[in-house]
Structure 1
């Protein structure tokens, strides 16, 4: 047996090595937790945080983003955003608590000083161990990404006075009115923000969508638009931002649904969804290289309308977006 070497020690693991090891465990855990999830993605580049020692060691990456004035995302996002991307392996409550506490110490001073700021985490909805930790630190589930597998949507009873059709450029003003009404409502109950330039931002976005012919349906009664659903189609391919959220394949998505207040509960939303979903799914059929996965959307759990409507339509939470505003309110 060779004599021991005195004074030599194994090189300490680098933070990147720790992330890699924990990510392998995390992939197995999340796959067992919810088979609808894609393979857990590596976190984006950022400030690596490692907390604790094996077997209770966890890690994460802290990233920072600033949205400039006039950006469309400012209608649902704070200006300064600190985001934690946990890589916790199979850790339980205590190590995750320690990671969230360490995150606050890594936030940039500009984030902590800015009232228009947020601390955010996106995490699988079925992980109730993490749910308990996030709630304890003051984070709120302001949005969920929900998915619906492909399949028929129940067709509501006919309404002879209601016309549901694809929107065109001539519908711009009616669509802007509906979008602003929805924004005003959701800003009271969810993560949306009613900024001073909201009307200009909405008008520009909807004008571009209609001009490009992106799938948008409107409901019309008596010559007046009373509902709208803005949709799109996307492919989840390796390396794309969508691949970290949903399995690979073709996805339809519902960007925003709006029904004027006088028509809520009358079936307008159901008829819009019944018109949109089959076309969104049909757009990928016939392609041998692409599986049709279904549709996805975001809705706000605190919203008493959307939190009921979308689950009834067959959408189930996949990811929860946890947030606290301002960021310095993180406990």
Structure 2
């Protein structure tokens, strides 16, 4: 289905005024079109999609199994339009009957749109994740750790470090520590290391104490990344993990300075990552490394808890 071009254009103007780094607004992918009217007759719209992650999908480690996602098209209506559309979404969920467990409603919106935040909070959505970006020269690499490229021979070490991060994140964000987490992580990391994906280990006295597992992603018109990032070649910081006993000594800062330098050498225009604002470690660490929120992913679990 299609939605009004006027809403897309008006929303693009509003987004540009909120945050100049936001990419151009494009019409959402096909889905279930939702509409709502404001008291003055102005209409807003959105597209709802439903995804069910199968049992062996790695996405189940950072997502509910059943996800209802709303892409709003509010034009220039701001908080009033958001409130009207969320009310309509709540009514639609009453007809759709989402799963009572392991389900979520998700909505991604510009982090700097403070005006709409009140409506999102009032409807029970929580800012669990942000997409944060960094566009600055890499800082000097300084510290006492030895940093080297991770290889397929390091798979056991890489998995152990990634699982340490997973366990912590599951307490403070959208991550889910599922019974099959070890197998899912091991399979995904084995594929990335075999493909030569950029990943680095920081060692002290020959023992790996930190991991930075990254990728390089291109944002270009027509692909999914272009709806989140400006056009260009971007470094993606997927997982950074420092063992508890090594935290607070600067190894994470040294590792990321090294990773930023290496990703810049690959011709990236910047780097981006996902972190959880409720996480007391990453919510402090990443801003200190030069990252700032671009998008916030609002979520409520289970999906039926949307107000």
Q: Smaller-chain TM-score range?
A: over 0.9
Name which of 67, 79, 82 aligns with 1:96: 82
| Aligned counterpart, 1:189 | 172
Question: Could you tell me how far 1:16 is from its partner in structure 2?
Answer: 3.9
Q: Which moved more, 1:188-197 or 1:41-50?
A: 41-50
| Aligned counterpart, 1:307 | 283
Asked if 1:69 is matched to 2:52, the reply is no
Question: Could you tell me how far 1:273 is from its partner in structure 2?
Answer: 0.5
Question: Could you tell me how far 1:55 is from its partner in structure 2?
Answer: 5.5
Name which of 28, 33, 41 aligns with 2:18: 33
Task: Tell me the distance in 1 between the aligned counterparts of 2:177 and 2:220.
Answer: 34
Give the conservation status (yes or no) of the 8 Å contact 2:217–2:235: yes
Give the conservation status (yes or no) of the 8 Å contact 1:82–1:111: no
| Aligned counterpart, 2:65 | 79
Name which of 27, 32, 35 aligns with 1:42: 27
Flag structure 2 segments of 5+ consecutive residues without an equivalent: none
| Aligned counterpart, 1:113 | 99
Asked if 1:278 is matched to 2:264, the reply is no
Moved over 4 A (4+): 108-111
| Aligned counterpart, 2:8 | 23
For residues 276-329 of structure 1, what are the alpha-carbon distances to aligned partners after superposition, in whole Å with 9 as ceiling and x for unaligned? 111112212xxxxxxx42111110000000010000000010000000000011
Task: Tell me the distance in 1 between the aligned counterparts of 2:90 and 2:127.
Answer: 18
The alignment's TM-score, normalised by the length of structure 2, stands at 0.96
| Aligned counterpart, 1:217 | 200
Question: Could you tell me how far 1:28 is from its partner in structure 2?
Answer: 0.6
Give the conservation status (yes or no) of the 8 Å contact 2:242–2:252: yes
The alignment's TM-score, normalised by the length of structure 1, stands at 0.89
Question: Could you tell me how far 1:271 is from its partner in structure 2?
Answer: 1.2
| Aligned counterpart, 2:274 | 298
Name which of 111, 120, 134 aligns with 1:134: 120
Question: Could you tell me how far 1:113 is from its partner in structure 2?
Answer: 3.0
Q: Taking structure 1 as reference, are residues 168 and 108 closer, same or farther at Cα in structure 2, changes over 3 Å only?
A: farther
What do you get for the CA RMSD once the two structures are aligned? 1.5
Task: Tell me the distance in 2 between the aligned counterparts of 1:108 and 1:232.
Answer: 40
Give the conservation status (yes or no) of the 8 Å contact 1:111–1:117: no
Aligned length: 306
Q: Taking structure 1 as reference, are residues 149 and 243 closer, same or farther at Cα in structure 2, changes over 3 Å only?
A: same
Asked if 1:147 is matched to 2:133, the reply is yes
Question: Could you tell me how far 1:109 is from its partner in structure 2?
Answer: 6.0
Name which of 288, 292, 295 aligns with 1:319: 295
Question: Could you tell me how far 1:111 is from its partner in structure 2?
Answer: 5.3
Q: Secondary structure at the match of 1:121?
A: strand
Flag structure 1 segments of 5+ consecutive residues without an equivalent: 1-14, 285-291
Q: Taking structure 1 as reference, are residues 36 and 227 closer, same or farther at Cα in structure 2, changes over 3 Å only?
A: same
Name which of 101, 121, 124 aligns with 2:110: 124
Q: Secondary structure at the match of 2:155?
A: helix
Task: Tell me the distance in 2 between the aligned counterparts of 1:196 and 1:109.
Answer: 32
| Aligned counterpart, 1:287 | none
For residues 183-241 of structure 1, what are the alpha-carbon distances to aligned partners after superposition, in whole Å with 9 as ceiling and x for unaligned? 11110001100000000111111111111110000011222211000011011011010
Task: Tell me the distance in 1 between the aligned counterparts of 2:247 and 2:158.
Answer: 16
